[in-house]
Amino acid sequence: MVRVPDAAVALSTASVYPLGVAGAFDLAERLGYDGIEVMVWTETVSQEAGALSRLVDHYGIPIVSVHAPTLLLTQRVWGPDPWVKVDNSIQLAQEVGASTVVVHPPFRWQRDYAAEFVEGVAQREADTGIHVAVENMFPWRARGREMQAYLPHWDPVGEDYQHVTLDLSHTATAGSDAVQMVRDLGPRLSHLHLADGLGSFKDEHLVPGRGGQPCAEVLEMLAAQGFDGSIVVEVGTRKLTDEQREIDLAEALAFARLHFASSA
């Protein structure tokens, strides 16, 4: 006998780029995903609760999480103030019924933001009840040199965050031990970005099972712990045809369903 916890397996809208948010909902509904993670992007629909709520109603699929526009490529979304980006993401999550906002740690040049980041995240969680899950990142490397690009650190394990997102493409790029991170984070691990990587300096976001990360083992560990967060497929399909994108996203979902189980 096996035990399968109730955690949702959701699809990130980033996984269908360059298709838009509506395309993600359509694929999620046809393939059998349990939910959606909205990556707040330059696309207007990704920023507006009304438009997102209409998609939820039309497809019957909930939004489980909102990814704040804290990437390099989204620096102009909602203006330059990083706290405005976080606060707007929290408000959006509340309005669409999502429980989690995913954020990246501050860039090293955002020193004022970084100085108050840990406390600011904790205060916003206490004020709103939304989980602000800080994502693991990686050092930047070029020409044999390594740069600390994030503050207080790219690795959230040693930081005082109540909720953490573990990204298995980022562990590959960082050279981190994903299994040990699951152990060290314990109940603080509340959100999983399911992807894979081969360990190159590029953040690859491969379909789970196509890289070198212990994706299956991580899912099995979380199932054994009774994980009740969200498992979000976040893979790159930008260069694929529509048919191949659908095949890859179906494979990623099947991988998650197969391995998110433990002995009863």
Closest CA to 234 of 39, 47, 98: 39
- The whole-number pLDDT of residue 61 equals 98
Q: What is the DSSP letter of 196?
A: B
- The whole-number pLDDT of residue 202 equals 87
* Distance separating alpha carbons of residues 105 and 137, to the nearest angstrom: 8
Name every residue whose Cβ is closer than 8 Å to that of residue 191 and which is 6 or more positions away in sequence: 65, 100, 102, 131, 133, 163, 164, 165, 166, 229, 230, 232
The SS3 assignment for 70 reads coil
Question: What does the pLDDT look like over 45-60, one tens digit per residue?
Answer: 999 999 999 999 999 9
- The whole-number pLDDT of residue 60 equals 98
Q: What is the DSSP letter of 106?
A: P
Average pLDDT of span 8-12? 98
Mean pLDDT across the chain: 96
Residue 201 has pLDDT above 90, yes or no: no
Q: Which domains does the chain have, with CATH numbers?
A: 2-263 (3.20.20.150)
Strand partners, 166: 192
Token pair 């990246």 is found at 104
Opening angle at CA 167, ends 165 and 171, nearest 5: 125
Q: What are phi and psi of 263, to 5 degrees?
A: -65, 135
Q: What is the pTM for the complete model shown?
A: 0.96
- The whole-number pLDDT of residue 264 equals 72
Question: What does the pLDDT look like over 119-163, one tens digit per residue?
Answer: 999 999 999 999 999 999 999 987 677 888 999 999 999 999 999
* Distance separating alpha carbons of residues 39 and 67, to the nearest angstrom: 5
Question: What does the pLDDT look like over 12-46, one tens digit per residue?
Answer: 999 999 999 999 999 999 999 999 999 999 999 99
Token pair 């804290």 is found at 70
At residue 2 the predicted structure's pLDDT band, cuts being 50, 70 and 90, is: confident
Question: What does the pLDDT look like over 81-120, one tens digit per residue?
Answer: 999 999 999 999 999 999 999 999 999 999 999 999 999 9
* Distance separating alpha carbons of residues 177 and 86, to the nearest angstrom: 29
The backbone region for 260, taken as left when phi is positive above 0, alpha when psi lies in -120 to 50, beta otherwise, is beta
- The whole-number pLDDT of residue 200 equals 87
Question: What does the pLDDT look like over 229-255, one tens digit per residue?
Answer: 999 999 999 999 999 999 999 999 999
* Distance separating alpha carbons of residues 101 and 191, to the nearest angstrom: 10
